[in-house]
Amino acid sequence: MSVTEAIRVENLHYHYPNGTHALKGISLQIWEGDSVAIVGPNGAGKTTLLLHFNGLLRGNGKVFVFGEEIAPHNLLRVRQLVGLVFQDPDDQLFMPTVLEDVAFGPLNLGLRQEEAVERALRALEAVGMGHVAHRSPHQLSYGERKKVAIATVLAMEPKVLALDEPTSNLDPRSRRELIALLKRLPVTKIVVTHDLDAAAQLCERIVVMNAGRIVADGNATEILSDATLMAAYF
């Protein structure tokens, strides 16, 4: 059985406007069905790399999504395939009700109102938040807003879910619930995180970054049990 390549990065460099060289020749392959954690210290370039997977940032080098190089003409298609969940859910929630927030993306794809609402309701049920569809997102707890933010992306029916620090700022119960939710979702997952325990629970593979480069890439258990590697970068 052939395995489909979901993401391929070739010799990717990225400079921020202030001159910071955030990515220094990154090359990486992620296969459909993978669960991959990208970990490393602050300033390693983890989020910068994540933002290249759906074209929010464009550096020097090549990024392919399901075999197609990201380019200006296909950004809409790429952003349907790779759904990005930001660290702060309030960056994704801005409509008067939860249902309107989750239906916003499908409506912008040109779906009919009825179909967009159906997608939104399915996505909310998938994250266990169907009961809050008609509430304001600002009436929800932080953990509930995190789940709704994930639903806004699931409603676009992506093949890849890319998450930036999904467990940050959650209380222990909300964190457990979110990890259980993410484990259930049948999509390719790429998780940027400082939470090594969550990385171990969610992902079979771990990529370690430092100073804009990949310094280790392998089986999660082997990476996390490498005492020398952990001491060097965590």
All structural domains of the chain with their residue ranges: 34-54+76-233
Instruction: Look over the chain and give the mean of its residue pLDDT values, rounded to a whole number.
Output: 94
Q: Are 188 and 33 in contact (CB under 8 A)?
A: yes
Token pair of 204 as six digits: 């079979």
In the predicted model, what is the mean pLDDT of residues 163-179?
A: 93
Distance of alpha carbon 125 from alpha carbon 184, whole angstroms = 13
Q: Are 46 and 166 in contact (CB under 8 A)?
A: no
Residue whose entry in the numeric block shows the structure tokens 């266990």: 128
Instruction: Band the pLDDT of 10: cuts 50, 70, 90.
Output: very high
Q: Are 137 and 148 in contact (CB under 8 A)?
A: yes
pLDDT at 109: 85
Q: Are 89 and 148 in contact (CB under 8 A)?
A: yes
Distance of alpha carbon 214 from alpha carbon 123, whole angstroms = 34
pLDDT at 27: 98
Side chain identity, residue 121: L
pLDDT at 2: 60
C-beta atoms surrounding 156 within 10 Å: 19
Side chain identity, residue 32: E
pLDDT at 3: 81
pLDDT at 1: 52
Give the class (CATH, top level) of 34-54+76-233: alpha beta
The pTM assigned to this predicted structure is 0.93
Characterize the bridge pairing of strands 160-164 and 5-15: unpaired
Give the helix ranges, DSSP H, for 162-226: 172-184, 196-202, 220-224
Q: What is the DSSP letter of 168?
A: T
In the predicted model, what is the mean pLDDT of residues 165-194?
A: 93
In the predicted model, what is the mean pLDDT of residues 190-212?
A: 95
pLDDT greater than 70 at residue 74: yes
Give the percent of the chain with pLDDT over 90.
93
In the predicted model, what is the mean pLDDT of residues 139-144?
A: 93
pLDDT at 106: 93
Give the percent of the chain with pLDDT over 70.
99
Distance of alpha carbon 231 from alpha carbon 11, whole angstroms = 27
Distance of alpha carbon 22 from alpha carbon 35, whole angstroms = 24
In the predicted model, what is the mean pLDDT of residues 33-55?
A: 95
Q: What is the DSSP string of 70-85?
A: --GGGHHHHHHHEEEE
Sign of CA dihedral 63, 64, 70, 75: negative
136-to-80, 88, 100, 106 alpha-carbon distances in Å: 25, 17, 10, 19
